[in-house]
């Protein structure tokens, strides 16, 4: 048995047919008939524009968390600021900077990529790029929480890294993007 390299590798099996099923406000669903080494199967795929998130860490080493209602799972979740790529070729860094300002009223001097995740690769094309932001400043001109519905109010909390890690491990924080970012920071990745 040969040992495969421990790295994700792009590959596309032939798509024999595709049928558009639904278009929503931000994404669409397609049924694709795929030939996987002679096995013809139909897979439903949620096509997603992609997203960004921001692990904003202050000078004291605390992480900015926001609390947002998530209707599909019926819960208020502690998350890091995040948002969809709004334009087809939008620069993820520009989007991350906008989301941090819009959701938290914060700007940052330093930005670095932290992780890129495929959040649910069995059903969606969504990938999210997480940036670490440091050198934070509250923007006195910003009016965070001016969205509608779920984004109308986004309470904030600064958490120490040990506290955030513990909340991930005990299940108190379950947002996959936040968990991945927190554990990457704990691993010294940022």
The catalytic site residues sit at 151
* CA–CA distance, 190 with 187 (Å, rounded to integer): 8
Residue 112 CB coordination number (10 Å): 12
Residue 128, judged by CB atoms within 10 A of its CB (0-12, 13-18, 19+), counts as buried
DSSP, residue by residue, 48-101:
---EEEEEEB-TTSPEEEEEEEEGGGTEEEEE--EEE--STT--HHHHHHHHHH
Q: Using H for helix, E for strand and C for coil, what is the string for 129-176?
A: EEEEEEEEEECCCCCCCCCCHHHCCCCEEEECHHHHHHHHHCCCCCCH
Which residues have a Cβ under 8 Å from the Cβ of 39 and sit 6 or more positions away?
Answer: none
């Amino acid at each position: 048995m040969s040992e495969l390299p421990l790295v994700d590798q792009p590959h596309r099996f032939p798509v024999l047919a595709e049928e558009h099923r639904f278009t929503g406000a931000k994404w669409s669903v397609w049924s694709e008939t795929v030939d996987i080494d002679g096995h013809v199967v139909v897979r439903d795929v949620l096509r997603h524009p992609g997203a960004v998130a921001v692990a904003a860490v202050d000078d004291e080493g605390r992480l900015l968390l926001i609390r947002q209602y998530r209707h599909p799972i019926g819960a208020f979740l502690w998350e890091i600021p995040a948002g969809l790529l709004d334009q087809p070729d939008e620069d993820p860094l520009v989007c991350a900077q906008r989301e941090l300002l819009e959701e938290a009223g914060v700007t940052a001097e330093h930005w670095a990529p932290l992780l890129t995740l495929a959040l649910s690769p069995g059903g969606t094309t969504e990938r999210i790029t997480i940036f670490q932001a440091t050198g934070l400043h509250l923007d006195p001109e910003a009016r965070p929480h001016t969205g509608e519905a779920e984004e109308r109010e986004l309470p904030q909390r600064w958490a120490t890294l040990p506290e955030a890690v513990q909340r991930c491990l005990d299940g108190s924080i379950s947002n996959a993007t936040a968990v991945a970012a927190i554990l990457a920071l704990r691993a010294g990745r940022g």
